[in-house]
Every structure is written in C-alpha cells, then in structure tokens.
Amino acid sequence: MKVILDAETISSVLASLADQVRLDTDNAAALAVVGIRSRGEVLAQRLTHLLADRYQERIPCGTLDITLYRDDLNSPQGNGQPRVRTTEINFNVDDKTVILVDDVLFTGRSIRAALDALIDLGRPRAIRLAVLVERSGRELPIQPDYTCVSTDVRPNQRVRVSLVESDGRDEVVVE
C-alpha cells in the first residue's frame, strides 16, 4: 500500500482546483457544482465551500446518483440488487456551467453515466469534469478538465480514497 495523498495534500490540491475554476469562470451566478455519490459528493461540498469563499457568493451544490444509468446494472456478474439513492439537485441546471466532481477517474464509465443522468435534468451551458485522482485505464474517450493528481496505476491495482466525512480520515492510497 502506497499513500499518494495525505490530508494536508488533499486540502492543498482542492484549494488549487478551486483557484483554477475561479480563473476559468468569471460569473458565479452561472456556476454550479454536482458531486457523484458517494465520495464525489463529499469532494463537491468541499469544493463548493472553497468556491463560495473565492467568489464571495453562494454556489449551488448538488448530488447525483448514477446507479440506474450504469452500463453494468444488469450484468450477470453483479451481486444482488443495486442500492439506489436519491439525486439531490435543488437548482435548475439549464444554462449553468456545471462542475461535475468525482473522486477517481478510471475507465470513464461512471462519468458517462453521470453525464446521461445530468443531461436528463436539463441543458447545462457546459459540463466540466473535476477529479481528485486521474489514473490510467480509460475505456471511453473522457478526460477531466481539472485534475488534482494523475497517477500511473497497474490494472490489477486499486486507488482507494478515504475522506473524513465518510471514512474518518483523508487519504488516497494505491493498493
């Protein structure tokens, strides 16, 4: 097991990500942040607080559940019924620049599902992808707009993200 991000580094790279979004987007009123359940949701909330500080305005934040949009939902290798949770987006996504947040970008399949789910809610002006960790192994032509850290990870290795809100500590490890 190798630690690639500790708590201090996670805070630092998220602050840098917020700075980059701020540089790229002048109009806070046209901005929204949406996190993919479950760790993307936590990262989106943190990013939203950082952006609100930078813009000195409230930035809408929501949570997207992609379970029913996954392409492996009916896979014979699946184990039991999927756990469907709620999507909580209490704002209109039409004409917004939506920052879609996830913890790890690997194959691109979760992001594809999230894009489908988000488009079903309206027509954003733009969707920008922000990820904490980008790793090798893409199966779909999806690339992040904002990446906190990129790492080369062998196909048999796993990137595990732990966040204090759900796991009691902030840490990213390669197993």
- Residue 2 falls inside a structural domain: no
pLDDT of residue 82: 65
137 phi-psi bin (left φ>0, alpha ψ -120 to 50, beta other): left
Look up residue 85 and give its DSSP letter.
-
- Residue 161 falls inside a structural domain: no
CB 175 within 8 A of CB 158: yes
pLDDT of residue 158: 95
d(CA 19, CA 116): 28
Both structure tokens of 125: 């002006």
- The amino acid that residue 168 corresponds to is G
pLDDT tens per residue, range 47-61: 999 999 999 999 999
Grade residue 155 by pLDDT with cuts at 50, 70 and 90.
Answer: confident
Least confident of 13-17, 58-62, 69-73: 69-73
Residue 7, phi then psi, degrees to nearest 5: -60, -45
Between 85 and 21, whose confidence is greater?
21
Max Cα distance, the chain (Å): 49
- Domain containing 61 equals 7-70+85-152
The mean per-residue pLDDT over the stretch 6-27 comes to 97
pLDDT tens per residue, range 72-119: 665 555 566 667 788 999 999 999 999 999 999 999 999 999 999 999
Question: Cα dist. 17→37, 52, 89, 94, 107 in Å?
Answer: 20, 13, 22, 24, 22
pLDDT of residue 123: 97
- Residue 20 falls inside a structural domain: yes
Look up residue 88 and give its DSSP letter.
B
Whether 159 has a pLDDT exceeding 60, the answer reads yes
Residues β-bridged to residue 135: 151
The mean per-residue pLDDT over the stretch 42-46 comes to 98
Whether 39 has a pLDDT exceeding 60, the answer reads yes
- Residue 50 falls inside a structural domain: yes
Residues 6+ apart with CB under 8 A from 169: 7, 162, 163
- Residue 171 falls inside a structural domain: no
Domain count along the chain? 1
CATH number at residue 107: 3.40.50.2020
CB 132 within 8 A of CB 103: yes
Q: Average per-residue pLDDT in the chain? A: 93
The mean per-residue pLDDT over the stretch 106-135 comes to 97
- Residue 167 falls inside a structural domain: no
In this structure, are strands 171-174 and 159-162 parallel, antiparallel, or unpaired? antiparallel
- Residue 142 falls inside a structural domain: yes
- Residue 47 falls inside a structural domain: yes
